[in-house]
Structure 1
């Protein structure tokens, strides 16, 4: 443990110890995705306080705890991973029912997203016990925050988390074809030994923009944006580009250029015969133009800014 983390433990106690930490509760703890300094003060306090720490890999978590100067005997760590989550979740429930505080940490980041933890939380909730989130590092939100890929346009706002695509080539190709019609930003995850295959599959998306976020928060972190059809060649351009864990973002699908003149002609014809809302809805259905924009244009056509004011 470095002196800086010794100070962090003191700071964690000062900042978090006065808060209430109920017994018989599961604490879902986000841990760093690479940079040890990305732990939160509350996470440090809870990891010290917990009677049991359930974790994806006990050896990895023990190393993490020791880096922060937290000493937990081996019998206070409980392995809970994708291969034993259902059975281990019941062991956690029993400990919670006995009044223990149990923390759960996956190997990196926020549990229950792409890592184990969802089945554990479901089992704890089904038993009528409390789950308390301790937010922190996440590769998904970290990548999204530095790409500007989350649009806010009507019908295309937000993002879709797709995680890892199938490993078999035919199934992966089918999944990519489905994603091709998704207008929102899509978040994918991929391991280094499969990133080239994913890049090859994404090439069918042509000029749709793709961001690769590699080794986030680590020394060789890299964030790079390309057209989908160019990603495979970029990866092949240097050996280090295929190393590390990847977050892959498909940027929002570009909206087709619309013929504003045609949509306005349709809107004018409909406004002459129908109420405004009905005319706008039909014009949007016919032309594919955004309904909000058509509605604003309809109001402008009905009430031009230079029209004389009405008098009673």
Structure 2
């Protein structure tokens, strides 16, 4: 009886082939068919461990033909074969092809496995120092029009960090658009991670305003932008929502300040409470 076929999503290095783990290497060498976003990628990853003729057959599978490759995938799976899919770099499906292949295999009742690998988004978030809780992956933002404006407005309201993919030549325009969202967004911290794990890796840090002023020319290579979320409005606006809390807090600080003499303390409390300074002074002395 023929063993059931299996689709394997293989995570591959972002740019340094030394990051390819043994399990991923075996999956690429032992598969019956390799579906590849770029058919040159497996050879680059495995050389000099494997000659080109030692690799399984390779077939291109990219955004433009992914739906067409579903029939081929299912045909091989029905024969009990193992089909490995690799994107150009990183983990498939994350702003890369693979989603429709997974959906087709699952719908047909075949097993799907994944060999973990990096994503530029997760690596950039780790390098940023921002909280991972509430962070969200935005991929590439719309290029123009109402869709882009809506996406930018959404970023302005986001509480968690936003992970954005951008081409290096469009990064200055993205920063200008973020500055255009207002001073609150302009003051937020942002990290720009360029060419992660590659020879020319570069990490830029600062506020949106600062980096927009520094980066006025196109960057080279692939860029991941990590934008800090908006400040916690609950904490920031507590005093504004309840002036009594603000007044009580300020009065407490005055009372606990060891450097204030009774007369100065009375004047400060009078300014905060509207009570008579002389009466307060008498009470403080009494």
Which TM-score band (shorter chain)?
0.7 to 0.9
Q: Tell me, yes or no, if the aligned pair for 2:4 and 2:77 is still in contact at 8 Å.
A: yes
Report what 2:39 is aligned to. Answer: 58
Deviation at 1:66, TM superposition (A): 3.0
Q: Which stretches in structure 2 are left out of the alignment for 5+ residues? A: 246-286
Q: Tell me, yes or no, if the aligned pair for 1:93 and 1:124 is still in contact at 8 Å.
A: yes
Q: Which runs of 4+ in 1 moved over 4 A?
A: 72-75, 260-266
Q: Tell me, yes or no, if the aligned pair for 1:30 and 1:109 is still in contact at 8 Å.
A: yes
Report what 1:191 is aligned to. Answer: 167
Deviation at 1:68, TM superposition (A): 4.0
Return closer, same or farther for 1:114/1:261 CA change in 2, 3 Å cut-off: closer
Deviation at 1:250, TM superposition (A): 1.1
- TM norm structure 2: 0.76
More divergent stretch after superposition (75-84 vs 64-73): 64-73
Distance 2:240 2:212 in 1: 40
Report what 2:138 is aligned to. Answer: 162
Deviation at 1:64, TM superposition (A): 2.8
Q: CA RMSD in A?
A: 2.3
Q: Tell me, yes or no, if the aligned pair for 1:212 and 1:248 is still in contact at 8 Å.
A: yes
- TM norm structure 1: 0.70
Report what 2:231 is aligned to. Answer: 254
Q: Which stretches in structure 1 are left out of the alignment for 5+ residues? A: 1-21, 152-156, 267-312
How big is each residue's C-alpha offset from its partner over 1:59-78, in whole Å with a ceiling of 9 and x where there is no partner? 33333333442544687101
Choose 1 or 2 for highest CA Rg. Answer: 2
Match of 1:245 among 222, 228, 237: 222
Deviation at 1:162, TM superposition (A): 0.7
Q: Tell me, yes or no, if the aligned pair for 1:28 and 1:132 is still in contact at 8 Å.
A: yes
Partner of 1:200, secondary structure, is: helix
Match of 1:206 among 186, 206, 221: 186
1:32 pairs with 2:9: no
Deviation at 1:259, TM superposition (A): 3.7
